[in-house]
Amino acid sequence: MTSSSATGADIRRGPFRVGDKVQLTDPKGRMHTITLAENATFHTHKGYFRHEDLLGRPEGWVVTNTAGIEYLALRPLLSDYVLSMPRGAAVVYPKDAGQIVQMADIFPGARVLEAGVGSGALTMSLLRAVGDAGELHSVERREDFAAIARGNVETFFGGPHPAWHLHTGDLADRAGEVVDPGSVDRVVLDMLAPWENVDAVAEALIPGGVLVCYVATATQLSRTAEALRADGRFAEPSAWESMVRGWHLEGLAVRPQHRMVGHTGFLLTARRLADGVTPPVRKRRPAKGSRPGDEEQWGAGRWSEEELGEKAVSDKKVRRVRREVGQEPE
């Protein structure tokens, strides 16, 4: 096992130090994330306290500001960090990242290929799962998104992670350069058109390997499933979504919260078959006309974020986020 400093394990243990990220929770449950620094203060419209009041203190410490307001100080969990970190592209929510790690059966030492890195949220969960002895090859089409992801990942782990290899370009073009054919245990796709990469994924996966796709719309989900069936090298795909509803806990007033994290995306999994094997014929066949027959039904060419109902990320925002994570273009 490598030293803990390689993956930032040491920065998440022990007393608070300069450079640590700290999550502050006030009496109303509002959270603030700060980075501890020398001669610095945390201000609100209701008083302030000095960072020095936390330096050398253990996690779970309560600090009181000049107005008598108490803040609970803890290091942010990964789920806290991904929701508050600088972002260009939308992040994969913790509820979906947990499902991906579990349903893909990503294990310590696994060899994983990821495409569609975005801001690096899912990447951090995958790195946690494969550990120092595993390999995670991440492919991102956009160089600016890759830079943002690198900044976020290295900030969280306290430096480069020994298992991570970040590449730019299209997966369909670069898969053969990034990994050897038949050498990958798991593939995770978070992109607009996963069906364009089915051949590259099938070439990379070992027999029995798992593919997981994260897509936003039912149209994407359907086309990806049909592409996997048509390819013939995968077992029957499965699809689902998860929804999370919190509960209000106050004495006897125990009830569901009025708001919940509903639909964020669909997840689809499929297993790689052995070479030369024909998948078993499905017993339940779809109704006539339910499958796509030509490009007119699906639309030709590459799909855009706007066509799928997603808000495009402006170049101005991407430049700002790159500055925040310390990855400004040269």
Q: Is residue 77 very low, low, confident or very high in pLDDT (cuts 50, 70, 90)?
A: very high
Nearest to 185 by CA among 266, 94, 114, 97: 114
Strands 135-140 and 205-215: unpaired
Question: Would you state the structure tokens that stand for residue 99, as one six-digit string?
Answer: 């499902």
In the chain, what percentage of residues exceed pLDDT 90? 66
Question: Would you state the structure tokens that stand for residue 2, as one six-digit string?
Answer: 């490598």
pLDDT at 279: 81
**Domain map (residue ranges) of the chain:** 4-76, 80-278+304-324
| pLDDT, average across residues 287-292 | 56
pLDDT at 203: 97
Fold identical between 4-76 and 80-278+304-324?
no
User: Looking at the domain that runs over 80-278+304-324, which CATH code has it been given?
Assistant: 3.40.50.150
Report the CATH architecture of 4-76.
Roll (3.10)
Question: Would you state the structure tokens that stand for residue 119, as one six-digit string?
Answer: 């801001």
What is the model's pTM?
0.81
* pLDDT of 129 strictly over 50: yes
Strands 31-35 and 41-44: unpaired
What is d(CA 113, CA 207) in angstroms, rounded to the nearest whole number?
Answer: 15
Contact 89, 305 (CB under 8 A): no
Surface-to-core class of residue 245, CB atoms within 10 Å of its CB (0-12 exposed, 13-18 middle, 19+ buried): exposed
